[in-house]
Structure 1
Amino acid sequence: MTNPKISVIIPVYNTEKYLTQCLDSVINQTLSDIEILVINDRSPDNCQQILKEYEEKDSRLRVITNEQNLGLGGTRNVGISLASAQYITFLDSDDWLEITAMEECFDKLEAHKADMALYRYFKFYEHAKHAQPVKTLHKKIKIQTKIFTLNKSPKLFDITSSCMKVYRKKIIDLNNIKFPTKLYYEDVPFSFQFYINMNHAVLVDKPLYYYRQHDNTITQDRGEKMLDMFSIIKITDEKILEKIKDKKIKSAYSDKKINLILNALSRVNKSVKVKFLEQFRELEGFKITGKSFFPLFLLRFRLYGLLQLYVNFIFFVDSLKFKIKILLKQVSIF
């Protein structure tokens, strides 16, 4: 297709049960001038056959197969590099769109000359076959109008997902914005880099995306992958900290880092909690040594001091439990 308006990027891995619903929602969009880039990340199931069938019946759909497994972030990067439209969007292959989604976003982007369209979504509960609209998006990021900037709405950092948005590709290309590869929480640095570099965005205040909730969702992993949080924070700091000049934006970003760590800490499996806490204690910007740590923490990061006390306590308890178990095992040998 020549001059598509939006490139829809769909990474595919192990989702043959849901893939047809996903693809049907895209090829039936009311905005027909779209490019559909479906990247098979070496899926071991029957996804490739399904993709070939769709490629044969719709010339807008192009199937790309990775030479090796790249993970979600790396596969999205492949899509970005191949996209030819003015705007791009990401869709996970177990989710789907309202058929008017791309048209409504495109019209808003063009009408307001915006760099990003942000829209609401449904949570679809697989076990109950029930879709629940998420209604609090605009309240969460304190958007007072449908047109907004990061400076006016710094709580935008609370929205980390790279889906449920349509982006101006020129911003991504000019600033070399990419996803980290093979890391959990890969959406965070991508989304935050875009927020920092965009001019203004537009809110499409209705749910247009169905986000499937089920046991196999990647976000259910609570083991070793949770440790990727610390690599993600370091990557994001390197990409955006020097560009943040506004105190409100810097404060909102710092608050979000606290939130990410607390959220991960509350979800991580007990088997990796000690490792998690050890890495937290060494994270740059959170690390505290000597007599000056407590007032410095409270002054620079407000809640960080209390967070550190909490982490130190949990770390001490978990380490003690671990040492006791080792000791008991040694005693039992004799």
Structure 2
Amino acid sequence: MPRLSIVVPVFKVQGYLRECLDSILRQSFTDLEVIAVDDCSPDGSGRILDEYAARDGRVTVLHLPENVGLGRARNAGVERATGDYLLFLDSDDSYLDGALEAIARRLDACGDPDVLVFDHVRSYWWNVVRPSQFGEVLASVGDRTASVFEEPALLELFAVAWNKAYRRAFYRAGGLAFLPGLYEDAPLAYEAMITAERVGCLARACVDYRQRYQGAITRSPGRKHFDIFPQYASLFAFLDERPHLDPLRPVIFERMINHFVFCLGRPDRVRPADRREYFGVAAAFHRRYRPQDYHPPSGRSGLAHRAVASGRFPLFASVDAAREMHRRGTSGVRRSRRTAGKVAYRALYRMQRRLPLDEHLAVYSAYWDRGMRCNPAAVEAKVRELAPHVRSVWVVRREAVESLPPGVDYVLPRSVRYWQVIARATYLVNNVNFPDYVVKREGQVHLQTHHGTPLKRMGLDQQPFPAAAAGMSFRRLLHRAGRWDYSISANPHSTEMWDRVYPCPYEHLETGYPRNDVFSTATDDDVLAIRERLGVPRDRVALLYAPTMRDYRKSFVPELDLVRIAQELGDGYVLMVRTHYFYGQDPRLEDLERQGLLLDVSAHDSVEELCLASDGLITDYSSVMFDYANLDRPILTYAPDWEAYQAARGVYFDLLSGRPGETPGTVARTEGELIAAVTSGAWRGEDAARLRAAFRERFCPWDDGRAAERVVRRVFLGQDADALPPVVPVAARRPPRAVHHDDASSAGRPAAPVV
């Protein structure tokens, strides 16, 4: 029988769930079991739980057949628990390092109390961590135990489920259970505390209580916040059955009214339209449950209590307004530095937004208006095929106009027509974000396509990394993400990450990346034709070198000595070098190309064509590796500065671990290792192929050539997700062959080309 049973209820938390589970299973204290309850979650949470259960025998997963809510999901977990003590951890929160060891030691020191209460910190989405306000009360109890009769201050502690360890025998004997509905923590927390004969305290912070930007049920406004009233009614019914607890009624009553007032003051809980009705119910509870000798607290809190007692909502509203003014202060000066031109353009934009939307107009942009590329280009092409009634307009910079195919309709950013189409288009499609000043109109549909699978930290996860976060406003970032209606995902890993780092209410389109369709639809002849256009000799093995950018560098600095690599590999190989689009053209590469040492393909519009033309990929941490895996061709990871990149940007998994599903093929840390990997043939040997297969299975599950079709049918034609084309399994796909494919000589000599 384990010492601790930790019940984790799970619903729509795929972006946070791994962090939560890891925080339990990586604790130094190991005498535990985890009862994870999948509350019929519609996202990938159930799959993640099963992964953990398969790896760690301490994890038991319950998959509930229907959604029952947080409280009853916890109850289901309690029924399966076998430990001495019950703990509850919400699946978007986590334990701090050493927390369970500290809890277990304090349980021993206190002689197995009925309840142990421990501290927590609040972790805010803007990368701030703050201690709780309960440390002093917890510390005052020390190593001893007490009842709430002996220490009434214990009832002032946070009335939630996850800051306590409950002796399971005490919990079951007392008939403790969570009720359905929101605010289910409060009655159980109070019932446990007031019936416990021995309560222990631990002033150490053990739980990281995550304050999410959006998605937390207690911060989603609506009628469900009226659930608080039956919860407290059940608590007072519990007291009615136990007259010996009557001395505790005044403090519990005060805590209840404080809770009502708190919720009334939060528009992210009680909607303005519901405030008067909510107040009326709170006032009725005040009349019904007020103890005879109750005296309201002093100060501002007391004013709010007296307003509730009076039943007069205007009085309460005035008290609440005064309190809010005091909280915010009076400094609200707006600064305005608009030029006359900006004023005129914004006036034009406002006027255009008053006109009806054009249901047949879609506006596209890619890479901050750099041209007709990536997922938006693939989506637009499929729209022309499946929804020809929808007209397309591209937003492109002046210098990118020449790259557009003939006949493409475009606008320049901030031109007069730009404001017109941005204001009136029904569909807005981008692989980054439209500028902050773009207003999301009712009826407009924003499709976020993204432009890569995240190895590096993204969104809110960039905050702890100064090189990545420099100059970024994360509040504005979330404002932009808040405009999305749909977010395309290339794989389950991406879905989990987007959920956490862009926590806004959009729909995930788990379709695969439209830009990768070509890797399934192109033919062997297409590959030869692309190589011919690029000038890649048919008898040479083409290696595409595509490194990513470094946040801590302003310009392209090749990690490879390209001259040495070209000379060492010899005439049987050709290096195709593609710099990151942030860096642009590099004169050094142009010079090396003139010497015949490499092909500089940095200016080529289509990365996908470069991938098709190559026989293998050399990259570092670029997301091109995830797309390239669709081709089932060798990927060689050259990572001389892995530690520096991790420290500067942060990563989601260890690319160099050698574990299947993390490392896409052969790894080289030095130029010598890289040259040896190629010349020996290891880069496309059996070991590399096994790693590549696992990587492809994990990161390319939906890229079967019909991703763009799925997106267009869902977004532009309004078809249900269940009606979209089914995905072809990875094993059944037949991507076009490389000209020099994997049956090359193991000695590293180029294979005979495809004829």
Deviation at 1:89, TM superposition (A): 0.2
Is the 1:26–1:99 Cα contact (8 Å) retained in structure 2?
no
Q: 1:27 corresponds to which residue?
A: 25
1:51-130 counterparts in 2 under 5 A?
51-113=49-111, 114-126=113-125, 128-130=126-128
How many residues are paired up? Answer: 304
Structure 1 counterpart SS, 2:41: coil
Is the 2:122–2:209 Cα contact (8 Å) retained in structure 1?
yes
Deviation at 1:309, TM superposition (A): 5.1
Is the 1:277–1:315 Cα contact (8 Å) retained in structure 2?
no
Q: 2:327 corresponds to which residue?
A: none
Is the 1:91–1:163 Cα contact (8 Å) retained in structure 2?
yes
Residue identity opposite 2:27 in structure 1: Q
Q: Distance in 2 between matches of 1:252 and 1:125?
A: 30
Deviation at 1:317, TM superposition (A): 8.5
Structure 2 counterpart SS, 1:286: helix
Is the 1:109–1:115 Cα contact (8 Å) retained in structure 2?
no
Select the residue among 294, 302, 310 that pairs with 2:295.
302
Q: Distance in 2 between matches of 1:315 and 1:287?
A: 20
Percent identity, aligned pairs only?
24
Q: 1:174 corresponds to which residue?
A: 173
Call closer, same or farther: CA 1:317–1:152 in 2, change over 3 Å. Answer: closer
Q: 2:392 corresponds to which residue?
A: none
Q: Distance in 1 between matches of 2:278 and 2:143?
A: 39
Q: Distance in 2 between matches of 1:265 and 1:311?
A: 14
Q: Distance in 2 between matches of 1:8 and 1:96?
A: 12
1:170-249 counterparts in 2 under 5 A?
170-181=169-180, 183-214=181-212, 215-243=214-242, 245=244, 248-249=247-248
Q: TM-score, normalised by structure 1?
A: 0.83
Q: Distance in 1 between matches of 2:137 and 2:225?
A: 25
Is the 2:283–2:309 Cα contact (8 Å) retained in structure 1?
no
Residue identity opposite 1:173 in structure 2: R
Is the 1:122–1:133 Cα contact (8 Å) retained in structure 2?
yes
Residue identity opposite 1:274 in structure 2: R
Q: Distance in 2 between matches of 1:55 and 1:312?
A: 54
Structure 2 counterpart SS, 1:123: strand
Deviation at 1:287, TM superposition (A): 4.4
- 1:105-127 deviation digits (Å, cap 9, x = unpaired): 1221122121122111111112x
Structure 2 counterpart SS, 1:178: coil
Q: Which has the larger radius of gyration?
A: 2
Deviation at 1:160, TM superposition (A): 0.7
Q: TM-score, normalised by structure 2?
A: 0.38
Is the 2:117–2:202 Cα contact (8 Å) retained in structure 1?
yes
Q: 1:326 corresponds to which residue?
A: none
Q: 1:139 corresponds to which residue?
A: 136
Call closer, same or farther: CA 1:301–1:25 in 2, change over 3 Å. Answer: same
Q: Distance in 1 between matches of 2:45 and 2:122?
A: 24
Call closer, same or farther: CA 1:309–1:180 in 2, change over 3 Å. Answer: closer
Moved more, 20-29 or 194-203: 194-203
Deviation at 1:199, TM superposition (A): 1.3
Identify the structure with the greater helix proportion.
1
Residue identity opposite 2:295 in structure 1: R
Call closer, same or farther: CA 1:123–1:140 in 2, change over 3 Å. Answer: same
Q: Distance in 2 between matches of 1:273 and 1:156?
A: 31
Residue identity opposite 1:270 in structure 2: P
Call closer, same or farther: CA 1:20–1:74 in 2, change over 3 Å. Answer: same
Moved more, 101-110 or 89-98: 101-110
Q: Give yes or no for the alignment of 1:251 onto 2:250.
A: yes
Q: 2:314 corresponds to which residue?
A: 314
Structure 2 counterpart SS, 1:31: coil
Q: Distance in 1 between matches of 2:208 and 2:94?
A: 5
Deviation at 1:156, TM superposition (A): 2.5
Q: Distance in 1 between matches of 2:41 and 2:82?
A: 25
Call closer, same or farther: CA 1:240–1:299 in 2, change over 3 Å. Answer: closer
Deviation at 1:245, TM superposition (A): 2.9
Q: Distance in 2 between matches of 1:316 and 1:198?
A: 36
Structure 2 counterpart SS, 1:118: strand
Q: Distance in 2 between matches of 1:299 and 1:60?
A: 51
Deviation at 1:175, TM superposition (A): 1.1
Q: Give yes or no for the alignment of 1:150 onto 2:143.
A: no
Q: 1:286 corresponds to which residue?
A: 287
